[in-house]
């Protein structure tokens, strides 16, 4: 029975970790790279802290380099409270979709009403200050997104397979956990029945022995 309990605990922990990874724990997932003209597109940019217990503040800057251009142009900034669209081409077309605190880890933005001129390279820069007990430490992290704008969406096969495999894994874990629970339940129930039978046999043995003792006393009299 102890083995069943340990197996169930391990399965539960593994399942919870898998679900948490799939549902929102900080993970540095690459951004999509294909946008459809006239629609909204999310430019993903995530930079996770290596030590969550360390306090930090961060600002984020987005730069853009159009196809055929050599240099990046500063288009957007966010300081944890206020956003600022710097380039007029993106006026009213960038919307913050990242972290809602000073400790920024997700710097994703929505690019609204995408045009073919939005094709190019987007660079997201985290300027982070880690606060330790006796000092502060500054770090800079850059993420690059190569964006292509198309007229009609063409979902890649790899993306479809990845999504299907994620759901298959979660369902498989649930079924595995269910099977283990049924197995352990039956094993515990069988152990309980065996213990009950043993207790009944012991009780009958004691009762029979008591009868024999009583009969012996009567014969002696």
Q: How far apart are CA 126 and CA 140, in angstroms?
A: 5
Within 8 A by CB and 6+ apart from 135, the residues are none
Percent of the chain with pLDDT strictly greater than 70: 72
Average pLDDT over residues 43-47: 93
Q: How many angstroms separate the CA atoms of 118 and 50, rounded?
A: 33
- pLDDT at 22 (0 to 100): 44
Would the pLDDT of 60 be above 90? yes
pLDDT in tens, 71-126: 999 999 999 888 999 999 999 999 999 988 878 899 999 999 999 999 999 999 99
How much is the pLDDT for 191? 72
CA distance 63 to 144: 10
- Determine the pLDDT at residue 20: 44
Cα–Cα distance between 221 and 203 in angstroms, integer? Answer: 27
What pairs with residue 170 in β-bridges? none
Are residues 98 and 109 in contact, defined by beta-carbon separation less than 8 angstroms? yes
Taking the CB of residue 92, how many other CB atoms lie within 10 A of it?
8
Structure tokens at 141: 């992290």
Q: Are 76 and 84 in contact (CB under 8 A)?
A: yes
191: left (phi over 0), alpha (psi -120 to 50) or beta: alpha
């Amino acid at each position: 029975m102890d083995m069943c309990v340990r197996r169930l605990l391990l399965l539960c922990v593994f399942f919870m970790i898998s679900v948490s990874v799939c549902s929102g724990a900080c993970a540095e997932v690459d951004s999509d790279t294909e946008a459809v003209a006239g629609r909204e597109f999310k430019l993903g940019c995530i930079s996770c802290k290596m030590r969550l217990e360390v306090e930090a503040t961060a600002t984020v800057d987005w730069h853009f380099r159009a196809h055929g251009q050599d240099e990046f142009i500063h288009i957007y900034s966010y300081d944890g409270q206020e956003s600022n669209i710097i380039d007029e081409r993106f006026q009213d077309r960038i919307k913050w979709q990242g972290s809602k605190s000073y400790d920024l880890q997700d710097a994703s933005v929505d690019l609204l009403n995408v045009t073919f001129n939005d094709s190019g390279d987007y660079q997201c820069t985290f300027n982070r200050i880690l606060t330790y007990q006796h000092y502060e430490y500054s770090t800079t992290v850059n993420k690059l997104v190569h964006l292509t704008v198309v007229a009609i969406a063409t979902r890649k096969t790899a993306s479809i397979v990845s999504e299907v495999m994620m759901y298959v894994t979660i369902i498989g874990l649930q079924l595995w956990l269910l099977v283990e629970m049924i197995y352990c339940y039956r094993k515990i129930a069988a152990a309980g029945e065996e213990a009950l039978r043993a207790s009944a046999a012991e009780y009958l043995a004691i009762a029979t022995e008591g009868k024999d003792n009583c009969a012996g006393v009567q014969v002696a009299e």
